[in-house]
Structure 1
Amino acid sequence: MKILIIEDEESLQRSLDTYLTAEGYTCSNAKNYDIAKQKLALYEYDCILLDLGLPGGEGLELLRFLKEKDRTDGVIIISARNSLDQKIEGLSLGADDYLIKPFHLSELNARIASVIRRRSFEGKDHFTFNEIDVDLKGKQIKVKDQIVYFTKKEFDLLLYFMTNKNKAISKAAAVEHIWGDDADMADSFDFIYTHIKNIRKKLIDAGSNDYFQSIYGVGYKFVDQ
């Protein structure tokens, strides 16, 4: 699961990144309006943590940008502004939640999980795709009641494709979604082939159909056969 932290206060940004990474999320960061807008234009996120007062622009304008693009990313506003009017405006522009600073990281984590479940999994901790059963809370996957063991990256990558089924995903998008800002350090994205090959083999060996489809010149698609 991928989180974009849009926060200019460096100490808070580091705390959020460290905590959420330890909780199993992949985090990307943006410290000002321009960087945030560039990342939002290029990538999609499971949840966006959005500060309102940003160097170079206003956080609510980023919400308007997402709304204009019909994006479905979850958004939690994190702000020191305890204004009813701003809460109403943010929620009316598509934000899922509004959290006043300072807050407990454990509360933020619970709200992120709730937003992701509601946005991507209809509020459920389990979902089933044909013979594949996914336990989101336990981070466990079964095929025909048999547990299939995946690494964290494999689990996140499979989940990313399953929640975007029938949609062509480029290698670059897959790598950035799973590795976050560290994706920029890769010389190429060819290693994504190895991860998908491993996922396919584990699923097929457990009795699953092969739902991955290679798209020449683009990447891969998880198809609903």
Structure 2
Amino acid sequence: MKVLVIEDNEELAQNITSYLTREGYICELATNHFQAIDKLNGFKYDCIVLDIILPDGNGLDILSHIKSEKIDSGILIISAKNSLDDKVNGLELGADDYLTKPFHLPELNARLKAIYRRKYLQGAYEIRFNEIYINTDNMEVSVNDNMLDLTRKEYALLLYFLTNQNRVLTRQTIAEHLWGDYTDNLMNFDFVYQHVKNLRKKIVQADGKDYIETVYGLGYKLNTNK
């Protein structure tokens, strides 16, 4: 899961991003309103952790921007203000959940997973596609009941394909989804080819079909018609 954390408290922001990264997330950080808008306009995120109080603006204004620009991300508001008005306003503007500071990081993780399941997996924690099975809670993948030994990047790549079936995903889009804004400094995206190749090989070795097609000049797509 790719997450943007919008939080101006340096210690809390570091704690959140470090914890979520250890849990397998791709995390990016914005510490103010300007940075947040810039990242939201340039990249796509599965979920956004949004603080209401920022040094140069209000998180609810960012939420309004997200909705007006039709940015399709799950949104978890975090705020030290345990105010009913803040909670109601945030949810009415389109937030998916609200968490009051201070909170435990495992609870934040659980809330993000729940938002992801509701938004992208119809509320389920399992994905079944023909012979491929994914348990998103423990990040286990099997093909024809054979467990796959995937790296975290390969797991994230397979999940990305399965939640974007029959859509062409460019190499740049895949790179940004798996590595975040670190891709800004890369000369090319040739490494995406290697990750796709390794994933396809492992699925086929487990007697699965090779659903991932190369769309020459563009990228890749998972073809459900095979």
Given the two structures, how large is their TM-score scaled by the length of structure 1? Answer: 0.93
Q: Kindly indicate whether the alpha-carbon contact (under 8 Å) linking 1:3 and 1:45 is maintained by their aligned counterparts in 2.
A: yes
- Corresponding position of 1:141: 141
Structure 1 residues 218 and 61: alpha-carbon distance in aligned structure 2, compared to 1, 3 A threshold: farther
Question: Which aligned pairs between 1:56-135 and structure 2 lie closer than 5 A?
Answer: 56-135=56-135
- Corresponding position of 1:51: 51
Cα distance in 1 between the residues matched to 2:169 and 2:108: 29
Specify the SS of the correspondent of 1:44.
coil
CA positional deviation for 1:185: 3.8
- Corresponding position of 2:22: 22
CA positional deviation for 1:218: 2.5
Given the two structures, how large is their TM-score scaled by the length of structure 2? Answer: 0.93
In the comparison of the two structures, how many residue pairs are matched?
225
State the one-letter code of the partner of 2:103: F
- Structure 2 stretches of 5 or more lacking a match? none
- Corresponding position of 1:206: 206
Deviation by residue 1:169-213 (Cα, 9 ceiling, x = unmatched): 221221121112332343321110000011111112222222212
Question: Which aligned pairs between 1:149-188 and structure 2 lie closer than 5 A?
Answer: 149-188=149-188
Cα distance in 2 between the residues matched to 1:89 and 1:211: 43
Pairwise CA RMSD: 1.5
Structure 1 residues 217 and 34: alpha-carbon distance in aligned structure 2, compared to 1, 3 A threshold: farther
Larger CA deviation: 54-63 vs 149-158: 54-63
CA positional deviation for 1:64: 1.6
Cα distance in 1 between the residues matched to 2:181 and 2:13: 14
Structure 1 residues 56 and 223: alpha-carbon distance in aligned structure 2, compared to 1, 3 A threshold: farther
Specify the SS of the correspondent of 2:181.
helix
Q: Kindly indicate whether the alpha-carbon contact (under 8 Å) linking 1:72 and 1:119 is maintained by their aligned counterparts in 2.
A: no
State the one-letter code of the partner of 1:196: V
CA positional deviation for 1:214: 2.1
State the one-letter code of the partner of 1:118: R
- Corresponding position of 2:42: 42
State the one-letter code of the partner of 2:14: R
Write out the 4+ residue segments of structure 1 that deviate beyond 4 Å after TM superposition. Answer: none
Cα distance in 1 between the residues matched to 2:166 and 2:81: 41
